[in-house]
Chains A and B, each alone.
Chain A
Amino acid sequence: MTIDLKNLTIQKAHDSLMGGDFTSVELTQAYLDEIAKKNKDINAYLEVFGDALEAAKKADVKIEEGRRKNESVPLLTGIPIAIKDNILIKGKIASAASKMLENYHATYNATVISKLGKEGAVFIGRTNMDEFAMGGSTENSAFGVTKNPHDLSRVAGGSSGGSAAAVAMDGALFALGTDTGGSIRQPASFCGQVGLKATYGAVSRYGAIAMGSSLDQIGPITKTVTDAEIIFNIIKGRDIHDSTTIDATTYSPKRVGTKKPVIGVPRDFLSGDGIDKEVMAAFEASLKSFQEKGYEVKDISLPNIAYSLPVYYVVMPAEVSSNLARYDGVKYGLHVEGKDVIDDYFETRRAGFGKEVIRRILLGTYVLSSGYHDAYYNRANAVRAMITQDFIKAFESVDVIATPTTPAPAFKIGEKANDPVAMYLEDIFTVTANITGMPALTVPCGFAEREDKKLPLGLQLTARHGDEKTLFEVGKEFLGE
């Protein structure tokens, strides 16, 4: 039977599996068939797991047992999901799309993997990404770029390009990505999907290959907000292995709006030529649709928001330089012989890391080095605190802050490859959520037309710390779920 993968959601898949419309083996095979058809062109997956059908068979046993005993079975049982290449699944390769870890096999499960595994999910494969999550296009992968399923001449976005493309091409029902400066939300937006970066600490980072530890979060890329909410509720929670994790008691978000959440728009930040006309048109249309649904939309001011990107490009490389010091060819990963023990490190790291990774490590080393520490790193942290205060103040009068997710639709492969700063500017709307630690959701809000192709656009909603609930409510209403 042909399963309608395009219109599937977690609940629909679960109901069909429980109702006997199809089995997990059939569902998994359907996704495997799509991958076989499309992956050589799109390169969303670096590896399709050979034991996916095994896992699907085991899931079918649980589903049948549940049906027989008339007992409910966890919601994700038998549902295929794609995992970004920087999240550890025990026994499987996790390479962070880098030559440094090309043959590294994870020796433990990330907490999110344990949780999803307990819920019965079928891990179908690992997806492509920018090397060590550094990039906005997946062009920095050591294993080739991932192409946008909507237009193969364009990027899928990054760094979770493979995850977003996998869902968009119906190669999985949903995927996990990681987000340090926008790496879930931007590719989700470019590929027409929903993407969530929750409050910092909401999801355990244990088992995610670290990039910027005060910024990183694991999160879902899905077709619907309802699915994102389901996955979030499964993967969230305090974890003894990650002491930065929070729980439901950490924050007490209080709404301002009485009937509906109030939407704020930082108009100052949206003026100027940096934003594509069609992006602004889709954004304004989204605001109008909120107003028609009875939402109050008001202008807000975020005085220091323009400094978010420079803050990010000081803090993040600093943390990167520290986190990537562990790759020395001794404990795991690539080893290249040098003339002595220190030379081993020099050779190994030069051979294992790509250009962008080296660039960021050196930049981080610079901003942390003696003589520059105060001028760059300390200063960036001080401005980070100021930006966070701006947002907290704004949330005294609004409940959700709306912006476009990206300043333009997916760009052409190679277009920004030679200009690091031009690539960095793509993050302009997404970095704030990582800088402040606040939750942010991207939802598809229309298309831009380029050369007869329709390129997806995203609307980004940011909420106060701990207030994913408001994001889900507003997102669902926007998409008519």
Chain B
Amino acid sequence: MITPAELKNLAKLARIKLTEDDKKSLVKEFDSILGYVDQLKKVEVSMDAEARVGAVKNVMRADVALDSTPEEREALLNEAPHTEGDFIVVKKIIAQD
């Protein structure tokens, strides 16, 4: 049901590197799982039915920024793999020709 090419595309969208072995087993598992959930296609539904969990509705708050304390900032930066001073370091995003 799912082709290796489709699976490769999903992995690309999800930013997960897959080996050839990963892809082989995933194709089989996908088919098994999709085969199972496909029974939903048989149900007669009104597609306007909005999914809502109980009485959940939109909740607004004031658009006000809250400052962190120096301690909070330090704790957060401590968790980042690469930092430099108060900054989190990442690789260059835009390539230069």
| B40–A376 CB distance below 8 A | yes
Q: In the assembly, what is the distance between CA of A250 and CA of B13, in Å?
A: 39
Given A240-B61, A304-B43, A420-B29, check contact A342 B15 (CB 8 Å): yes
Q: In the assembly, what is the distance between CA of A345 and CA of B91, in Å?
A: 11
| A310–B40 CB distance below 8 A | yes
Interface assignment of B16: CB less than 8 Å from any CB of chain A: yes
Closest to A244 in B: B56
Interface assignment of A8: CB less than 8 Å from any CB of chain B: no
Closest to A315 in B: B51
Given A331-B88, A424-B36, check contact A379 B17 (CB 8 Å): no
Given A313-B36, A349-B16, check contact A344 B91 (CB 8 Å): yes
Closest to B60 in A: A243
Chain A interface residue count: which class?
Answer: 35 or more
Q: In the assembly, what is the distance between CA of A473 and CA of B91, in Å?
A: 58
Interface assignment of B75: CB less than 8 Å from any CB of chain A: yes
| B43–A386 CB distance below 8 A | yes
Most chain B beta-carbon neighbours within 10 Å: one of A344, A362, A379: A362
Give a binary string over B47-66; 1 marks a CB under 8 Å from any A CB, 0 the rest: 10111111110010100000
Interface assignment of B96: CB less than 8 Å from any CB of chain A: no
Partner of A379, one of B47, B55, B82: B47
Given A201-B56, A311-B40, A361-B14, check contact A386 B45 (CB 8 Å): yes
Partner of A421, one of B2, B13, B26, B36: B36
A363 to chain B, nearest CB (A): 6
Neighbouring A residues of B10 by C-beta, 8 Å: 362, 365-366, 369
Closest to A341 in B: B91
Neighbouring B residues of A330 by C-beta, 8 Å: 80-81, 88, 90
Interface assignment of B79: CB less than 8 Å from any CB of chain A: yes
| B51–A335 CB distance below 8 A | no
Partner of A347, one of B11, B17, B56: B17
Give the tally of cross-chain contacts (CB within 8 A): 171
Given A107-B72, A332-B80, check contact A346 B16 (CB 8 Å): yes
A254 to chain B, nearest CB (A): 15
Interface assignment of A73: CB less than 8 Å from any CB of chain B: no
Identify which of residues 325-373 in chain A touch chain B, using a CB-to-CB cut-off of 8 Å: 325, 328-335, 340-342, 344-347, 349-350, 353, 358-359, 361-363, 365-366, 369
B96 to chain A, nearest CB (A): 12
Q: In the assembly, what is the distance between CA of A258 and CA of B81, in Å?
A: 61
Neighbouring A residues of B34 by C-beta, 8 Å: 366
| B51–A314 CB distance below 8 A | no
| A328–B7 CB distance below 8 A | no
| B45–A383 CB distance below 8 A | yes
| A346–B17 CB distance below 8 A | yes
Q: In the assembly, what is the distance between CA of A315 and CA of B53, in Å?
A: 12
Given A246-B55, A369-B10, check contact A386 B81 (CB 8 Å): no
Closest to A356 in B: B29
Give a binary string over A182-219; 1 marks a CB under 8 Å from any B CB, 0 the rest: 00000000000000000111000000000000110000
Interface assignment of A38: CB less than 8 Å from any CB of chain B: no
Interface assignment of A104: CB less than 8 Å from any CB of chain B: yes
Interface assignment of A381: CB less than 8 Å from any CB of chain B: yes
Given A347-B17, A359-B26, A366-B10, check contact A250 B45 (CB 8 Å): no
Interface assignment of A385: CB less than 8 Å from any CB of chain B: yes
A295 to chain B, nearest CB (A): 26
| B59–A437 CB distance below 8 A | no
Most chain B beta-carbon neighbours within 10 Å: one of A329, A366, A388: A366
A139 to chain B, nearest CB (A): 16
| A341–B92 CB distance below 8 A | yes
Most chain A beta-carbon neighbours within 10 Å: one of B6, B53, B56, B61: B53
The 9 A-B residue pairs with the shortest CB-CB distance in the complex, in nearest-first order: A381-B51, A335-B81, A243-B59, A437-B54, A341-B91, A346-B17, A437-B53, A332-B79, A345-B15
10 sampled A-B residue pairs with Cβ under 8 A: A104-B79, A105-B79, A107-B75, A251-B54, A310-B37, A330-B88, A332-B79, A366-B6, A366-B10, A381-B49
